[in-house]
Structures are given as structure tokens and as C-alpha cells.
Structure 1
Amino acid sequence: MSGAQTAAQAMVTATARLRAAGVPDPARDARVLLAHAARIEASRVTLIAPEDLDPDIAERYDQLIALRAIRVPVSHLLGERAFYGRRFKVSGEVLDPRPETECLIEAALSLPFQRLLDLGTGSGCILVTLLAEQQQATGLGVDLSEAACLQASANAVLQRVQARADIRLSDWFQTVDGKFDLIVSNPPYIALSEMPGLSAEVRDHEPQMALTDGGDGLGAYRRIASEVGNYLTRGGRVLVEIGPTQAVAVADLFEQAGLRQIRVVQDLDGRNRVVCAQAD
């Protein structure tokens, strides 16, 4: 992007560059990243389109497009991601919040709860969202990654639920105590054999430990099922996000663990997405 260019010309050049790199929806990304470089709302890009780009903005834009061309996720470049109507800070240290995870939120909010546990909290998007939606609840979020715990803590502060959120370093239930009427998790569920088929954005830029168990993708569910009964109140619920082909296997694990009222929730695309169960 050398020489003076208008914002519109810069976007055309950037779009072509991203398209050549195989980036999906290059025009959208070019627009969003220009807004970020110019520090304006994306809706205002049209207003600056005829204007020459300031050299500092042009340089920032060039760097952002170069990173997007090597498939760094847009959310990492922006430093945030929208989830359930709120903005969450994200980085390469945590799994990007995904729209399909909102199905878990909806299922969790279908009944009231007071005490919440989020296993593998990552960015904290599930824990923080549920606490923001359920103003009387308190919650504990645990993760094996110290960086994830810091990110979740920051998001709790950002959404003003930090007084009701406890974030701890833990290998699943290792440092968990007490009982909960709602336990949720979006664990690593991608089988190791499926990893090569993921998009470059996910495979190369999101933490491996948040994506795969290094085995068949069911390892986390086995661990959760084997211990969750010790931490649920009577009638307490457990909800886990799953891969679309894992519903039967995860439901079987919960049934073997003595949980009841097991059901599967589908996402907006009609794919199995959440398994719900209840303690006696």
C-alpha cells in the first residue's frame, strides 16, 4: 500500500490481497480492519472512503492486512469479540467465543440458578455472561491455563461481575470445593485426527489445549462425568457443549454416571450442540 491512497482505494487493494490469500469474506475483513486502524466505528468507513489515508493509519492498516493474510483471526487483531450482546477481550491465549456457544447460554438461562461452576472457563465468556444475566448468582470459573484465568478475570471486570466471580487455576475439579446448582463447560472436544481439517485461523492461532484432548475428543467428558456428581446439588444441572457427532457418546457417559433427564439441544443450524443432564 505504498503512496497516497484514499480509504476506498486502500480497501480495494486490501480486499484483493486477502482474497488472494484465501481469506473468507475478504471485503468484510478489509472494512472492519480499516475501521480499527482508523479508530472509528465500522459504520463510519463510508464517510472516510473518499479521503486520503493518513500515513499512520495506512501503516497500521497495512500491518493488520498482512497479519490477516497469514490467517490471524480478526478477533485477535481487534482484541475483542462479540458474544451474547457483549464485547469480550480475547487473544491467542484463549478460545474465541463462538455464536453456537450461545445455545449453551440459552439452555442455562432456561431455569434459575444461584451457584455456578464453569469448567475450562477460557475467556470467561460463559461464566461472565451467565453472571451478567443472572444478577443474584455467584460463580467459579476454573482453567488449567494461567493466561486464560487472567483473561477471564479481565472480562469479569469489563462486564462488572468481578465481585460475584471467582477465577481459579485448576485441572478440572482439582481446586474446586462446594456444590453448585449449575455446572457448565465448553471443553476441548475435537479429536486429534480432526485437527488437520480445521481452518488455519483455528488450527494455527487458537490454543491447542482448548481445542483437542489429544485423543478421541471425548476425554474431557469422561473426566467431567466421572466427578460431576460430587459437585452438583440435589437436582443440580450440568450442561456441556459438544461436537455435532458426539451427542450419543456424551449422553451415555452422563447416564453411566447416574445423571437423569438427559437431553440434547440443537443449535440454529439444527446440529446437536449441548447435552444437558440433572443430578438426583
Structure 2
Amino acid sequence: MAERPLGELLRHARQRLVDGGVGDAALDARLIVEYFSGTTRTDAISTPDRMIGNVAEIERALDRRIAGEPVHRILGHRDFYGMKLGLSAETLEPRPDTETLVDAVLPFVREIAARTGVCRVLDLGTGTGAIALALVTQEAHAVATGVDVSDDALRTAAANAGRLGVSSRFSAKKSDWFAEIDGLYHVIVSNPPYIRSSEIEDLQNEVRNFDPRRALDGGPDGLEPYREIAASASSHLESDGIVGVEIGHDQRGDVTGIFEQAGYRLVSQHKDLGDNDRVLVFGR
């Protein structure tokens, strides 16, 4: 396919996505064109006549987006807490709501690191490593173990740690929750699967068809992972440690009850940018 000027290509991409019924067509078109052409927003403004050669590759990416594939899956990465994280088939795409969990526990991580010289973090169901890597990049004296049952996810998390330059403070470990975990941690965090099994088919196509089901399905009532974490965390938690979990918007009461029955107290609760209940932090 012949070269096209950058400005014309951006307009063409946006119109293709509009015609294809894609929401946020202008943003997705810009992300796709910039990524595959190696250009920036500044280039589009300063040199809109710059000729772009790999038009066919951009057209294929637009086809994928029109077919329903999320734009960040097409690009192969997602920004999270100031980091660019690689994605893979068996990793959940990290979303801004999960940054609420990082914000909730980061002050405690910093406090422990300042007081003891190190803060040990365990991230259950680490996926891309998003939560653990955000914490270790924000606190130089934090070390983290990211746990997952997926080899694909563990490879992705380890690769992300390498790109961020924190491989010496992040380890990826295969384990079904706590099954293969030894030692004590100051902070245990998790964004577990919390969608009810019966509701998976009602999710947006981009989530249902492209996020791994294992990272979404929380069992019949969406609470099975919380029961697992609450039942086993105490054996791996320092006496003054905390457990921070992301929750569904209607799960605050149920999850609080599960942890209280296991001997925890609710330390804090946090809403996301949409004013929905999103994170609970527990202590013993």
C-alpha cells in the first residue's frame, strides 16, 4: 500500500473507527497510528505532511480494533501507574481502578521500609506484575514476589520487571494462591477474580472475549478468592502487616464479613475515580 501523509492517515484511521462503531475512535486511531508509525502527537502537529510507509500494518490494526479487540491488546502494552507494561494472552489488562489499590497500600509500604529497611510484598494473581511493580518502583526498599498459576503471566511479569530495571527486587513464582509460598510478608495484595460466574457472559465484549476468564471468574458468588486469601494469609503475614484487596463495586459488605470472620479488622476503604467501592485494607 502506498505511503500516506501522517495527518491524512490519522483522519482516515479515525473515520474508519467511527464507521466501525468504535467508541473513543479519535483516541484509539491516534494510539494505533502513533505506535505503528513511530510518531508522536507533536509530529502530527508539526509535520502533518510526513510520509508514513507501513500503512498496511496500520490498516490491519484498525481491522482488529473494529472486530472488537481492545486497543491496548493490539499495541501489546498498557500504561499503569506511570509504567508501560507488556501484555500477553493470559494476563488481565491492568486498568486505572487498580491504581486505587497501589495508592491505598503505598504509604504503609514506605512506612515499613523507613522503619525496618525493607518492605516485603506478596502480590497474589500478579498477571502483568502491575501492583507489585508499581510498589517496588515507587519505594526503593520494597521487594516483591508476584504469584500466579499461569506460566505465561509469570514470564510477562518477569519481562516487565526487567524492562523497568527492578528484576533484583521482583521475583515471579508459580503458585496456586499460597500453596507454594514460604516466609512472612509485610503487605499482601491482590486484585483477584471477583465476577460471578453467571455474569461473565454479560461483560463487555472487549473484556469477555479478550481478558483471560481465569482472571475474571470468582466463582458462583464472586467471593471464592477472598475466602481463600482470608483463610490462609495469616500464616504468611507479619504481625503488623496488612492485606489489601480490590473488590467489585457491590462487594464491600461481603468481603469485609469474610475477613472479619477470619480474625481481621477493616483498616481502611477506598473508592475509585468513579466513586465506587474498590479497595479494602485489613489488619490483624
User: Aligning the two structures, in what range does the TM-score lie when normalised by the shorter sequence?
Assistant: over 0.9
What does residue 96 of structure 2 align with?
99
Q: Could you say what secondary structure the match of 1:109 adopts?
A: helix
CA drift at 1:9? 3.1
Deviations, residues 197-224 of structure 1 (Å, cap 9, x unaligned): 3222111111110111342211111111
Q: Could you say what secondary structure the match of 2:156 adopts?
A: helix
The 5 A counterparts of 1:238-253 are 238-253=243-258
How far apart in 1 are the matches of 2:50 and 2:129?
40
What does residue 17 of structure 2 align with?
18
One-letter amino acid matched to 2:262: A
How far apart in 1 are the matches of 2:3 and 2:48?
13
What does residue 231 of structure 2 align with?
226
Change in Cα spacing, 1:254 to 1:36, as seen in structure 2 (3 Å) is same
What does residue 196 of structure 1 align with?
201
How far apart in 2 are the matches of 1:67 and 1:232?
44
How far apart in 2 are the matches of 1:187 and 1:204?
18
CA drift at 1:52? 4.4
The 5 A counterparts of 1:161-180 are 161-180=166-185
CA drift at 1:90? 1.3
How far apart in 1 are the matches of 2:43 and 2:75?
17
Alpha-carbon contact 1:138-1:165 (below 8 Å) kept: yes
What does residue 109 of structure 1 align with?
106
Q: Which runs of 4 or more aligned residues in structure 1 lie more than 6 Å from their structure 2 counterparts after TM superposition? A: none
Alpha-carbon contact 2:88-2:153 (below 8 Å) kept: no
Alpha-carbon contact 1:34-1:45 (below 8 Å) kept: no
How far apart in 2 are the matches of 1:14 and 1:215?
42
RMSD: 1.6
How far apart in 1 are the matches of 2:266 and 2:13?
52
TM-score with structure 1 length normalisation? 0.93
How far apart in 1 are the matches of 2:175 and 2:235?
16
Alpha-carbon contact 2:91-2:211 (below 8 Å) kept: yes
One-letter amino acid matched to 2:227: R
1:154 aligns with 2:159: yes
Same amino acid, percent of matched pairs: 37
How far apart in 2 are the matches of 1:206 and 1:70?
15
Alpha-carbon contact 2:136-2:142 (below 8 Å) kept: yes
Q: 5+ unaligned residues in a row in structure 2: which ranges? A: 113-118
How far apart in 1 are the matches of 2:133 and 2:167?
9
What does residue 55 of structure 2 align with?
58
1:144 aligns with 2:149: yes
How far apart in 2 are the matches of 1:155 and 1:164?
12
How far apart in 2 are the matches of 1:215 and 1:177?
30
**Larger deviation, residues 23-32 vs 141-150:** 23-32
CA drift at 1:63? 0.8
Q: Could you say what secondary structure the match of 2:102 adopts?
A: helix
What does residue 115 of structure 2 align with?
none
How far apart in 2 are the matches of 1:131 and 1:72?
31
One-letter amino acid matched to 1:106: D
Change in Cα spacing, 1:28 to 1:261, as seen in structure 2 (3 Å) is closer
Q: Could you say what secondary structure the match of 1:195 adopts?
A: helix
Alpha-carbon contact 1:35-1:45 (below 8 Å) kept: no
Alpha-carbon contact 2:246-2:278 (below 8 Å) kept: yes
Change in Cα spacing, 1:275 to 1:241, as seen in structure 2 (3 Å) is same
Q: Could you say what secondary structure the match of 2:107 adopts?
A: coil
CA drift at 1:51? 4.1
The 5 A counterparts of 1:127-138 are 127-138=132-143
How far apart in 1 are the matches of 2:158 and 2:193?
21
What does residue 241 of structure 2 align with?
236
Alpha-carbon contact 2:197-2:218 (below 8 Å) kept: yes
TM-score with structure 2 length normalisation? 0.92
